[in-house]
Chains A and B, each alone.
Chain A
Amino acid sequence: MSLSKPWRLPAAERRTEKPEGDAGGGTGRRAAASAAEAAADRAGEARWPLPLAGLSLGGAGLSAYLWQAKVGGTELICGPLGDCVTVNASVFSEVMGVPVALLGMLMYLALAGVLLVVWRRPDSGLANYGFALALAGTLFSLYLTGLEAFVIGAYCVWCLTSWILITGITWQWGRMLRRTARNAH
Chain B
Amino acid sequence: MAKKKSKSRKQQPSMGLIIGVAVVLVAVLIGAQQWWNHRQFQNSIRAASYYEQFPTEGTRIGRADAPVQVVEYFDFQCPHCQTASDRIVKPLIEQYVAEGSVAFTYRFFPILGPESVLAAQGAYCAMEMGMFWPYQDYLFAKKGLGNRGTYSRNNLIAYAREVGLDANAFAECLESDRAVQYVRAAHDQAVRLGLIGTPTFFVNGQPVSLSSWEDMFRVVEQALAAAGR
Q: Which residues of A contact B (CB under 8 A)?
A: 69, 72, 75-76, 83, 85-86, 88-92, 94-97, 103, 123, 125, 128-129, 131-133, 135-136, 139-140, 143, 152-154, 177, 184
Considering the complex, give the chain B residue whose CB is closest to the CB of A142. Answer: B26
Q: Are A140 and B32 in contact (CB under 8 A)?
A: no
Residue in B closest to A141 when the chains form the complex, CB atoms = B26
Contact: B36 with A95, CB < 8 Å? yes
Please state if A86 and B152 are interface contacts (CB–CB under 8 Å): yes
8 example contacts (A-B, Cβ-Cβ < 8 A) are as follows A72-B146, A72-B148, A75-B146, A89-B149, A94-B33, A95-B36, A103-B29, A132-B18
User: Chain B residue with minimal CB distance to A180?
Assistant: B12
Interface centre among B5, B23, B25, B146 (most CB of A within 10 A): B25
Contact between chains at B162 and A95 (CB < 8 Å): no
B36 contacts A135, CB within 8 Å?
Answer: no
Q: Would you call B154 and A153 a contact (CB within 8 A)?
A: yes
Contact between A76 and B149 (Cβ–Cβ < 8 Å)?
yes
Which secondary structure dominates where chain A touches chain B?
helix
Q: B33–A85 contact, CB under 8 A?
A: no
Contact of A86 among B12, B155, B162 (CB under 8 A): B155
Complex contacts, A153 vs chain B, CB 8 Å? 154
Name A85's contact: one of B5, B40, B148, B162 (CB within 8 Å). B148
Interface residues in chain B, defined as those with a beta carbon under 8 Å from any beta carbon in chain A: 5, 8-9, 11-13, 15, 18-19, 21-23, 25-26, 29-30, 32-33, 36-37, 40, 142, 145-146, 148-150, 152, 154-155, 158, 162
Q: Which residue of B lies closest to A127 (CB)?
A: B12
Cα distance A25–B145 when bound, in Å?
Answer: 78
A95:B152 contact, CB within 8 angstroms: no
Centre residue among B23, B29, B142 by max chain A CB count within 10 A: B29
Q: Which 7 A-B pairs have the closest CB atoms?
A: A85-B149, A135-B22, A136-B22, A136-B25, A139-B26, A96-B36, A132-B21
Asked if residues A95 and B33 are in contact (CB atoms below 8 Å), the reply is: yes
Give the distance in Å from the alpha carbon of A132 to the alpha carbon of B8 in the complex: 19
Inter-chain contact B152/A89, CB cutoff 8 Å: yes
Partner of B32 from the list A96, A123, A136, A184 (CB cut-off 8 Å) is A96
Judge whether A140 and B26 touch: CB under 8 Å. yes
- Given A75-B148, A95-B33, A140-B29, do A184 and B9 touch, yes or no (CB 8 Å)? yes
Tell me whether A86 and B22 are in contact in the complex, defined as CB-CB below 8 angstroms, given that A91-B37, A96-B36 are known contacts.
no
Nearest CB of chain A from residue B151's CB, rounded to whole Å: 9
Q: Name the contact of A83 in the complex, choosing from B145, B148, B154 (C-beta under 8 A).
A: B154
Asked whether, in the complex, the Cβ of B154 is within 8 Å of the Cβ of A95, the reply is no
Do the beta carbons of A96 and B150 come within 8 Å of each other? no
**Would you call A96 and B158 a contact (CB within 8 A)?**
no
Given contacts A128-B13, A135-B22, contact A97 B152 (CB under 8 A): no
A90/B18 in contact, CB under 8 A? no
Residues of A within 8 A of B21 (CB): 132, 136
